[in-house]
Amino acid sequence: MKRTVSAESPPKISIIIAALNSEETISDCLKAIFELNYPQNFLEVIVVDGGSKDKTIQIAEQYPVRVVSTSLNAPAAYNYAMKIACHGVLGFVDADAKVEKEWLNKLVPHLAEQEVAGVSGGIETWNTDNAWARSIGYEMANRYARLKKYTTRIATMNLLMKKSVIEEAGGFDENLPSQYDTDLGFRITRMGYKIVYEPNAKCYHYNRTTVRAFFKQQRQYGKNTLKLYFKHGKLARGDEITDFLMNIQPALMLTMILLFLFGIIEPLRPLWYASALILAFVFAYYVYCAVKLSVKFRDKAAMRLVVLYFVRAFAWLTGAAVTTVSFLLGKRR
């Protein structure tokens, strides 16, 4: 059954924010929500904290929000918040993101389309003063530029969804601490619904500011990407946001490492040449991509992407290895 939202009057919306140790950004995130050019009495804001050790909860409680403290991961927190949400339209905003004042006004009209289950805005970089963060933002912007009006999935960083459709799809998969949004989007669009991408509705994301933080984030993605592809094999071929070339990079890294290790055995020493050839190819490809984005965005800081590409591929490989070992040991989560 297709769900509709009236185009004549703005819908009431429950905005859900899953937070964890977000003291640096939660205040600006909430401030932006309460500055939205939208009837404030039509909004309910729920902050679900996953066990923060910093001042996230204390800061959130300074705003007129409902704070729920749990030990749940993000998808479980969303499922819980859905149950206590008062309204039929759910807004998802990351705790390290802030939305522009017209964000809702630009997104809401799309929900009047009968087959539309959700709609998301474009993503910009919040902390542009940091060169690593800017570089991450350039790469993300380049990937999102490939999206057309309708997409098979979108991040919960900034997203409006019809609650009834999420419930119909069975909610978020709590076995995927990350990549749960990709999984949900895939299931929803497979049911015949559409997800709209509205680039003019801006959300500003606080990107990672160090290589170490980026590696940690991407390793988590790597752990759950493998689970996601076991669940939906079709996604391994890539999509508009994460294409096939990105997906095969961890495999190339693994091949390069294995060839080098086998080459330690003297009779197999020529394998080092094959390993070096793969490294040279990958490096050249990364340099080409980084130069392309440096020119596109007119910022030589984007050359840092050469490092970030290597870090991401290795992080995904490491994450996939952890998931594989855990599976072999009988640990499914």
Strand (E) or helix (H) holding 44: strand 43-49
For the cut 60, the answer to whether the pLDDT of residue 306 exceeds it is yes
Residue pair 98/204 in contact (Cβ under 8 Å)? The answer is yes
Distance of CA 302 to the CA centre of its chain: 20
Are 253 and 314 within 8 A, CB to CB? yes
Average pLDDT of the chain?
94
CB 57 within 8 A of CB 17: no
- Which homologous superfamily does the CATH classification assign to the domain defined by 13-209? Spore Coat Polysaccharide Biosynthesis Protein SpsA; Chain A (3.90.550.10)
What's the rounded Cα separation, in Å, for the pair 92 and 143?
Answer: 21
Distance CA 282, CA 280 (A): 6
Residue in the block written with tokens 């909860």: 57
pLDDT at residue 26 greater than cutoff 60: yes
C-alpha 166/C-alpha 81 separation (Å) is 12
238: pLDDT confidence band, cut at 50, 70 and 90?
confident
Q: Give the pLDDT of residue 277.
A: 98
Contact in structure between 224 and 179 (CB atoms under 8 Å) = yes
Helix (H, G, I), strand (E, B) or coil at 194: strand
3-class DSSP state for residue 274? helix
Q: Choose among 240, 242, 206, 208: nearest CA to 224.
A: 242
pLDDT score of 333 more than 60: no
Residue 185: the pLDDT is: 94
pLDDT in tens, 29-57: 999 999 999 999 999 999 999 999 999 99
Residue 241 has pLDDT above 60, yes or no: yes
Question: In the predicted model, is pLDDT for residue 5 greater than 70?
Answer: no
The domain limits of the chain are 13-209, 230-328
Per-residue pLDDT at 332 exceeds 90: no
